[in-house]
Amino acid sequence: MIRTNEEINNILKYEDIVRFVKAQRLRWYGHFLRMKESRMPKRIMNEKIFSSRRRGRPKIRWIDNIEQGLKCMMVKGWRENAKDRQKWRLIAKEAKAHPEL
């Protein structure tokens, strides 16, 4: 189903779409950090790839974007905070309103 910009604005109540997506990304990352080590997403993310990279600038990884956003928000000790759902929820909520994110 294809949605128009107006429908998306009504769903998001005129929030900034970029900040909304980045806040959702942070929410999922907190969920990811709390996962058991045996879960498939955690195993895939922690897997080491034994191949050489292509020449040129490396691609920006998903985790790099998350860490950059947390640094921009000046969040310290985020790995420990992610284990506490209430604290992490507040961080993700703050990301929606953060002007530099």
Q: 96 pLDDT exceeds 90?
A: no
How many angstroms separate the Cα of 22 from the Cα of each of 27, 38, 55, 95, 97?
A: 9, 26, 29, 7, 11
Please tell me the pTM assigned to this model. Answer: 0.74
**Residues 1-44: pLDDT tens digits?**
888 888 888 888 877 888 888 889 999 999 999 999 999 988 98
Distance CA 70, CA 33 (A): 14
Q: Where are the domains of the chain?
A: 5-50+60-97
Q: Other C-beta atoms within 10 Å of 13: how many? A: 7
Q: How many CA atoms lie within 13 A of 89 on its CB side?
A: 3
Q: Percent of the chain beyond pLDDT 90?
A: 23
Under the phi-then-psi rule, with left for phi > 0, alpha for psi from -120 to 50, and beta for the rest, what region is 14? Answer: left
